[in-house]
Amino acid sequence: MEENLESYANLEENLKEYGKDLADLPQEDSYLLSEVLKRKLQDKEISCLEIGAGSGIQLEVLESIGIKKILGCDINRNAVAECKKKGFECLYSDLFSNVKGKFDIIVFNPPYLPEEETEDMGSKLSTTGGKKGSEIINRFLQQAEGHLKEGGEIILLTSSLTQDVDWRDWERKKLAEKKLFFEKLFVWELRKKNSC
């Protein structure tokens, strides 16, 4: 056990040395979202945007499916650099602030947990979505319509711990659910109400 803790500490130290944080590594939520994307997306001619590209795992999945038009963005400059190193087009952007154009699919695995006073700033940026966990998601939903093509879809991950998401302008369909120790994860397909 002590050896495992020491290995973990060394891993954390080495990652920080290279400008990465453990919070940027793919977790259960990323893998659940990857499974949904592999199952759902078959049309290779669609355009996809990933908000919060992080480690680039979803960009890699989209590429492996054969989708040709892929753009990622992230508010973390280290994440943007990492995605670019992997050969992806990726922008530095706070949600849609530097994104131009419209997309068939927008993928977002947002920070969705309610704020905890004791959480360190490094992991807070990747996991905390505001006091109730929904503030970033609600900003995203307000801005997303302007970047979706007619009939476009959002694929969004949330948690049972996320409170007060403003779904009122969106039709939603649950694509996946996974129970973890202290929460349930959900992957949603969202379409703008009155959209074809």
Question: What CATH number is attached to the domain comprising 88?
Answer: 3.40.50.150
d(CA 163, CA 133): 6
What's the confidence (pLDDT) of residue 23? 42
If one counts the domains in the chain, the total is 1
d(CA 167, CA 45): 28
Quick one: which H or E segment has residue 2?
helix 2-17
| 178 alpha-carbon distance from chain centroid | 16
Confidence of residue 115 (pLDDT cuts 50, 70, 90): confident
d(CA 55, CA 81): 10
Q: Is the pLDDT of residue 120 over 90?
A: no
What is the rounded average pLDDT of the residues 130-159?
93
Query: What is the SS3 assignment for 100?
Result: coil
For residue 192, list its beta bridge partners. Answer: 170
Q: Is the pLDDT of residue 8 over 90?
A: no
In contact, 180 and 135? CB cutoff 8 Å: no
What's the confidence (pLDDT) of residue 27? 79
* Residue 184 structural domain: 2-192
Instruction: Give per-residue pLDDT as tens, 146-192.
Output: 999 999 999 999 999 999 999 999 999 999 999 998 899 999 999 99
Query: For the chain, what percentages of helix, strand and coil (3-state, to nearest 5) are there?
Result: 35, 25, 35
What is the rounded average pLDDT of the residues 68-94?
96
pTM of the model: 0.84
Confidence of residue 5 (pLDDT cuts 50, 70, 90): very low
Question: Mean pLDDT over all residues of the chain?
Answer: 85
Helix 28-40 to helix 57-65 angle, to the nearest 10 degrees? Answer: 20
Radius of gyration for the chain, computed over Cα atoms and rounded to the nearest angstrom: 17
